[in-house]
Structure 1
Amino acid sequence: MDYVHLGRSGLKVSPLCLGTMNFGPFTSQEQSFAIMDRALERGVNFFDSANVYGQDRGRGATETIVGNWFAQGGGRREKTVIATKLYGSMSDWPNDNLLSALNIRRACDASLRRLQTDYIDVYQAHHVDRGTPFEEFWAAMDVLRQQGKIVYVGSSNFAGWHLAKAQEAAARRGSTGLVSEQSHYNLLVRAVELEVLPAALDYGIGVIPWSPLAGGLLGGVLRKMDKGRSASETMLRELARHREGIEAYEGFCDELGADPAHVALAWLLRQPAVVAPIIGPRTMEQFEGALGALDVTLDDAALDRLDEIFPGHRTAPEDYAW
């Protein structure tokens, strides 16, 4: 495994990040344990979670599963770079969400209890909170760092100008600032190329793409349907919107002799500022399959062809000016 730095930090992570959102709602604790053990065996040391993950199992259920896995010992916690998030509502009370200093303090302590650890490697804002000044956000995060409860701070779903505001506010305080940003990014969804990626590059922020396979559309959906695999109504609607591009994409993957899912992940790893796409397996088979992306190398000609199939953006302001 060739490890990479998370943004401008000295922290080294695997080029694929194990997303845990399915652990609990769709994947049993026993199966989740097996996937996480296998991840470490294969060198995947970067895991992502959030305090609200759990769905019908209840908010916090996913962090609890990860914490129970850590509690088995065997160096599991020490080998893992654990990232988790706060922002979403954990109850109906008004201060159990968003990014106030009060919620940051409470949410961090609650995540530490569920994860059964005394520190979080990368503590992330799941969304920007327009009602909380970044000065308050950084004051609270700096306290957590001084207490040894978190090591690094990241963001998720921030616009480019949010990244700039966050970093400038951190600089005024002498704080380290953000080391990572999780963004919705794949061959079909490329809006972050306008301003998020340029801002991330300028500030040394590592980008962690979520939904790298566009909900399965980039994972060989047509091939699977031809083999009798069923598709949800949502998938069929999205496929109808993008069918021409998906047909061309899967045809090009055939030319490359590569799995479409592997190509989609390998493409992301060639994009500026991208550190590690998040893979969110429900099964061991899905996890093992995703690792094949690390064996796919896309040359410049392949990247150009993918841009023809799924046009992206030039960096701002060139995309809408001269």
Structure 2
Amino acid sequence: MDLRIFTEPQQGASYETLLTVAKATEDLGFDAFFRSDHYLAMGSADGLPGPTDAWITLAGLARETRRIRLGTLMTAGTFRRPGILALQVAQVDQMSGGRVELGLGAGWFEEEHRAYGIPFPKERFGRLEEQLAIVTGMWGTPPGGTFDFEGTYYRLDGCPALPKPAQGKVPVLIGGHGAKRTPRLAAQYADEFNIPFASVEDSARQFGRVRAAAEEAGRKPEELVYSNALVVCVGRSDAEVARRAAAIGREVDELRANGLAGSPAEVVDKIGRYAAVGSSRIYLQILDLDDLDHLELIASQVQCRLD
């Protein structure tokens, strides 16, 4: 089981804080550092000191880390034109020496679009499908060639499709709970399918849909990686678990039901249940970015039992 660290910087984090967490991620032996792509805090968080841009952050981290994979869960398709996104991701991949992954979604948080003057079209899923075709098409265009595309929402004429990613093709993540269109898109474009904040039972159901869609598309279902994203709250004692839950404004019982919470042994056991339904990678949503002891505990008491 691969464990990856997943952060939500819109809730309040500077680049320096994210750099500290990314370096801890690397030093403690985790597989990757991922971040959300949002510009507005959610819930009761004040968002201070203000938002950071996902791909600017990852560009910086690409130069200041050496081993860990870097990526987004998920880049909002509404934030960037697909041709420019393909260029940006390829450039950051070059800056990292080939360690970048792209999670791409349709975009869903309407309030942040209003706050920053970003259009929030109704046909976001149709746009996402064309965006995936453009991004992967540009990366797959042979050097010296050009990429053309004419769809309902986007048109590219004579695009040089440069630069190219250092790793050839950047792994693409697609995720969500949708029963029909999401599995179809994953089967067509994804290297990894991720389901966020889902129970073991719902994960099994959605993984099954994606596997069926892959077979229908002529792909072997095992070609895809199947993963979960879950909030994590681990403690050496009940008091420590409660303290960490309170620090992120959550209840312990709710976290145990909907995430990975409790003692290291409890968390290892629940991860095993996700593994049993096909998950081979978990993105651990870390909401208190100042609690580096939490990361150390997970590395020493959870990750070591999964190797």
TM over 0.5: yes
Q: Which amino acid aligns with 1:264?
A: K
Partner of 1:64: 56
Matched, 1:166 2:185: yes
Deviation at 1:89, TM superposition (A): 4.3
RMSD of aligned Cα (Å): 4.2
Cα deviation, 1:103-124, whole Å, max 9, x if unaligned, reads: 2223344556788837673222
Secondary structure at the counterpart of residue 276 of structure 2: coil
Deviation at 1:48, TM superposition (A): 1.7
Residue number among 126, 129, 140 corresponding to 2:105 in the alignment: 126
Q: Distance in 2 between matches of 1:277 and 1:66?
A: 20
Q: Distance in 2 between matches of 1:21 and 1:280?
A: 8
Q: Which amino acid aligns with 2:63?
A: A
Q: Distance in 1 between matches of 2:193 and 2:295?
A: 23
Deviation at 1:87, TM superposition (A): 1.9
> Cα gap change, 1:235/1:210 in structure 2, threshold over 3 Å: closer, same or farther?
same
Secondary structure at the counterpart of residue 82 of structure 1: strand
Secondary structure at the counterpart of residue 171 of structure 2: strand
Residue number among 16, 22, 43 corresponding to 2:3 in the alignment: 16
Partner of 2:121: none
Q: Which amino acid aligns with 1:82?
A: L
Q: Distance in 1 between matches of 2:128 and 2:18?
A: 37
Q: How does 1:27-46 map to 2 (within 5 A)?
A: 27-46=13-32
* Unaligned ranges ≥5, structure 1: 5-14, 91-95, 97-102, 171-176, 298-322
Deviation at 1:212, TM superposition (A): 4.5
Cα deviation, 1:280-310, whole Å, max 9, x if unaligned, reads: 331311211222222346xxxxxxxxxxxxx
Residue number among 66, 91, 105 corresponding to 2:83 in the alignment: 105
TM-score normalised over the length of structure 2: 0.60
Q: Distance in 2 between matches of 1:42 and 1:139?
A: 36
Deviation at 1:59, TM superposition (A): 5.0
Matched, 1:223 2:238: yes
> Cα gap change, 1:242/1:134 in structure 2, threshold over 3 Å: closer, same or farther?
closer
* Unaligned ranges ≥5, structure 2: 42-46, 108-123, 142-161, 215-220
Tell whether the 8 Å contact from 1:197 to 1:272 is kept in structure 2 after alignment: no
Deviation at 1:265, TM superposition (A): 3.4
> Cα gap change, 1:66/1:134 in structure 2, threshold over 3 Å: closer, same or farther?
closer
Tell whether the 8 Å contact from 2:13 to 2:51 is kept in structure 1 after alignment: no
Bigger strand share: 2
Q: Distance in 2 between matches of 1:242 and 1:34?
A: 25
> Cα gap change, 1:230/1:83 in structure 2, threshold over 3 Å: closer, same or farther?
closer
> Cα gap change, 1:266/1:189 in structure 2, threshold over 3 Å: closer, same or farther?
closer
Q: Which amino acid aligns with 2:68?
A: T
Partner of 2:304: 295
TM-score normalised over the length of structure 1: 0.58
Deviation at 1:68, TM superposition (A): 2.4
Q: Distance in 2 between matches of 1:112 and 1:131?
A: 24
Q: How does 1:122-201 map to 2 (within 5 A)?
A: 122-127=101-106, 129-132=124-127, 134=129, 137-146=132-141, 147=162, 148-149=164-165, 150-166=169-185, 170=188, 177-185=189-197, 188=199, 190-200=201-211
Q: Which amino acid aligns with 2:192?
A: S
**Identical pairs, percent:** 9
Q: How does 1:276-287 map to 2 (within 5 A)?
A: 276-281=281-286, 282=289, 283-287=291-295
Residue number among 73, 77, 82 corresponding to 2:70 in the alignment: 82
Secondary structure at the counterpart of residue 130 of structure 1: helix
Q: Distance in 2 between matches of 1:104 and 1:264?
A: 38
Matched, 1:117 2:125: no
Residue number among 252, 266, 276 corresponding to 1:260 in the alignment: 266
